[in-house]
């Protein structure tokens, strides 16, 4: 009998398996598709690989301003796609070896929960003391009104397997997936139109982030419409709810993700209509069965899933109460410039009547940004005297800068303590220092308009 049976080897599952083994538990890990889950094979890593290719391509096209002469700059999309698949494969092999190094049994078959202590696969049965469900999620795909060929509609999985770029595309949804693919496709010459049913781009972001991204998209000739849906589709003629008719080569659905269902006789007794219902410490309604990662719907991000995994293993061993604070989970949308945020938006603070101070520091005030011609963006901090409530960044290296705020928030560090730290110059990170100083109108590199 194993101490732990884990279903799903994505970030939640493999992190739980490794941490459990480090703590002395015996583990069997089940995965019906690829080790690494969506993030490694159909999400984070492939898209970031493609985005980096796009970034290099754009920088080479604009290299003359840096004194670099380059002619006949072009790209081969088929090779870009081949590269992202090769990168995922290399990391997957490395990850598999990493998991095996901890003496974790890997079963690459679909797992079914038969009883509270029995997991069944096609080739055998496995007795376990505890079960962790970490089956992740899949792209949400809805049916539109009208008549069209299903191949006309792509998901984030499908688009990773095309080798020919469409001339034009309609992206439905402006979350992380929609924004990143808009940036990828636009940079490669595809005519991009985004529609978003909510009243702003990136609905979860602060309104000033959404507004700035809209300006950047207009500058880059990415068409977008908010408060808009698809009314109907006839062949490739798409009628939008705002009355506009467009004829894209493809539609990319980027409307969120749905949890992957679990199989087996006992699965029907585990409560949850869409996501699996969890109590304290990620327990389902069956005391020795837990659910972490996308499947519980608390925070559908890979790094959040890994943190849930680490905390859960500690709980199983020590019964230490888990305190998961979604406000302290950073979110990043990649591309140029990066978008990153954590904590409360300004709208949320206003709606809840929470008093706050606000700073707004332009990236154009940083010397390093000018040196690299990356002056687009800002850093926005929302805080009180004693704590940072939220941070919202559009900038080169935003993904790194948001971690500095995450460390401060996670350790209850006061803004004053950050302002006392010496930040290296020239860096993008010194923008964090200036933003904290700006809460009290003490930033050195913001013009005095009084």
The tokens of 131 are what? 């079960």
357-362 β-sheet, strand order:
331-333, 338-343, 388-395, 378-383, 357-362
Whether 146-255 shares its CATH topology with 328-438 is answered no
Residue-range domain boundaries for the chain: 2-139+258-324, 146-255, 328-438
The CA–CA distances, whole Å, from 149 to 156, 162, 164 equal 18, 16, 18
Contacting residues for 352 by C-beta, under 8 A, at least 6 apart:
none
Query: Residue 12 and residue 66: Cα distance in Å, rounded?
Result: 43
Instruction: For domain 328-438, give the CATH number.
Output: 3.30.390.30
Query: What pLDDT, on a 0 to 100 scale, did the predictor assign at position 447?
Result: 87
The CA–CA distances, whole Å, from 241 to 144, 195, 231 equal 12, 10, 5
H/E stretch holding 153: strand 153-154
What would you report as the CA-atom Rg of the chain, rounded to the nearest whole angstrom?
Answer: 24
For 146-255, which CATH superfamily applies? FAD/NAD(P)-binding domain (3.50.50.60)
Please say if 425 is a catalytic residue.
Answer: yes
- Please state, as a whole number, how many other Cβ atoms lie within 10 Å of the Cβ of residue 215: 10
Query: What pLDDT, on a 0 to 100 scale, did the predictor assign at position 341?
Result: 98
Residue in this structure with the two tokens 């081949």, named with its chain if needed: 82
Contacting residues for 147 by C-beta, under 8 A, at least 6 apart:
233, 234, 235
Residue 297: which region, alpha, beta or left (left: phi > 0; alpha: psi -120 to 50)? Answer: left
Query: Residue 91 and residue 14: Cα distance in Å, rounded?
Result: 13
Three-state helix/strand/coil letters over 176-242: HHHHHHHHHHHHCCCEEEEEECCCCCCCCCCHHHHHHHHHHHHHCCCEEEECCCEEEEECCEEEECC
H/E stretch holding 133: strand 125-133
Query: Residue 276 and residue 292: Cα distance in Å, rounded?
Result: 9
Query: Residue 362 and residue 212: Cα distance in Å, rounded?
Result: 12
Checking DSSP bridges between strand 257-259 and strand 137-139, what pairing results, if any?
Answer: antiparallel
Query: Residue 403 and residue 26: Cα distance in Å, rounded?
Result: 33
Answer yes or no: are the C-beta atoms of 103 and 21 closer than 8 Å. Answer: yes
User: Could you tell me which residues are beta bridge partners of residue 305?
Assistant: none
Answer yes or no: are the C-beta atoms of 160 and 42 closer than 8 Å. Answer: yes
Could you state, in chain order, the average pLDDT of each consecutive group of 10 residues for the chain (450 residues)?
Answer: 98 98 98 96 97 97 93 96 98 98 98 97 96 97 93 96 97 98 98 98 98 98 98 97 97 96 91 91 96 96 97 95 93 98 98 98 97 97 98 98 97 96 97 98 88
Answer yes or no: are the C-beta atoms of 309 and 294 closer than 8 Å. Answer: no
Of the candidates 201, 196, 193, 197, which has an alpha carbon nearest to the alpha carbon of residue 249?
193
Q: Which of 52, 303, 392, 425 is catalytic?
A: 425
Query: What pLDDT, on a 0 to 100 scale, did the predictor assign at position 449?
Result: 76
Instruction: For domain 2-139+258-324, give the CATH number.
Output: 3.50.50.60
Contacting residues for 406 by C-beta, under 8 A, at least 6 apart:
328, 330, 342
Residue 260: which region, alpha, beta or left (left: phi > 0; alpha: psi -120 to 50)? Answer: beta
Answer yes or no: are the C-beta atoms of 180 and 48 closer than 8 Å. Answer: no
Query: What pLDDT, on a 0 to 100 scale, did the predictor assign at position 38?
Result: 95
Write out the E strands in 55-117: 105-107, 112-115
Q: Between vectors from CA 115 to CA 114 and to CA 118, what angle results, nearest 5°? A: 75
Query: Residue 92 and residue 87: Cα distance in Å, rounded?
Result: 8
Query: Residue 311 and residue 18: Cα distance in Å, rounded?
Result: 13
Query: What pLDDT, on a 0 to 100 scale, did the predictor assign at position 79?
Result: 98
- Hey, is 174 helix, strand or coil? coil
């Amino acid at each position: 009998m194993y101490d732990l049976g884990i279903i799903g080897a994505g970030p939640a599952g493999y992190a739980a398996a490794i941490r459990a083994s480090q703590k002395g538990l015996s583990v069997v890990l089940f995965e019906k598709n690829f080790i690494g889950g969506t993030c490694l094979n159909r999400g984070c890593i492939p898209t970031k690989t493609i985005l980096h290719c796009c970034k290099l391509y754009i920088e080479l096209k604009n290299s003359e301003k840096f004194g670099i002469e380059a002619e006949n700059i072009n790209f081969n999309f088929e090779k870009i796609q081949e590269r992202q698949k090769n990168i995922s494969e290399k990391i997957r092999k490395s990850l598999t070896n990493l998991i095996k190094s901890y003496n974790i049994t890997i079963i690459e078959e679909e797992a079914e929960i038969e009883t509270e202590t029995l997991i069944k696969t096609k080739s055998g049965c496995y007795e376990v003391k505890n079960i962790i469900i970490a089956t992740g999620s899949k792209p949400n795909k809805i049916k539109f009104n009208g008549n069209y060929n299903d191949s006309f509609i792509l998901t984030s999985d499908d688009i990773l397997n095309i080798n020919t770029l469409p001339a034009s595309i309609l992206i439905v949804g402006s979350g992380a997936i929609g924004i990143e693919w808009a940036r990828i496709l636009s940079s490669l010459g595809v005519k991009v139109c985004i529609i978003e049913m909510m009243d702003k781009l990136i609905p979860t972001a602060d309104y000033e982030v959404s507004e700035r991204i809209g300006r950047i998209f207009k500058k880059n000739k990415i068409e977008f419409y908010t408060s808009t849906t698809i009314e109907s589709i006839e062949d490739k003629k798409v009628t939008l709810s705002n009355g506009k008719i467009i004829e894209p080569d493809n539609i990319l659905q980027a409307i969120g993700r749905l949890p992957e269902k679990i199989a087996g006789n006992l699965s029907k007794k585990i409560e949850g209509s869409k996501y699996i219902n969890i109590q304290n410490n990620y327990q389902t309604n069956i005391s020795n069965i837990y659910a972490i990662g996308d499947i519980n719907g608390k925070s559908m991000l890979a790094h959040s899933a890994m943190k849930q995994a680490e905390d859960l293993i500690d709980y199983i061993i020590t019964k230490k109460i888990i305190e998961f604070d979604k406000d302290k989970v950073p979110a990043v949308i990649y591309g140029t410039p990066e978008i990153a945020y954590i904590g409360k938006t300004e709208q949320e603070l206003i709606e809840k009547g929470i008093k706050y101070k606000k700073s707004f520091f332009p990236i154009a005030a940083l010397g390093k940004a000018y040196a690299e011609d990356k002056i687009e963006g800002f850093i926005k901090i929302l805080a009180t005297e004693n704590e940072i409530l939220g941070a919202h960044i559009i900038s080169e290296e935003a993904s790194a800068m948001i971690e500095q705020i995450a460390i401060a928030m996670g350790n209850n560090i006061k803004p004053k303590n950050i302002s006392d730290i010496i930040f290296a110059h020239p860096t993008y990170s010194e923008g964090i220092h200036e933003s904290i100083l700006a809460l009290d109108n003490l930033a050195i590199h913001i013009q005095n308009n009084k």
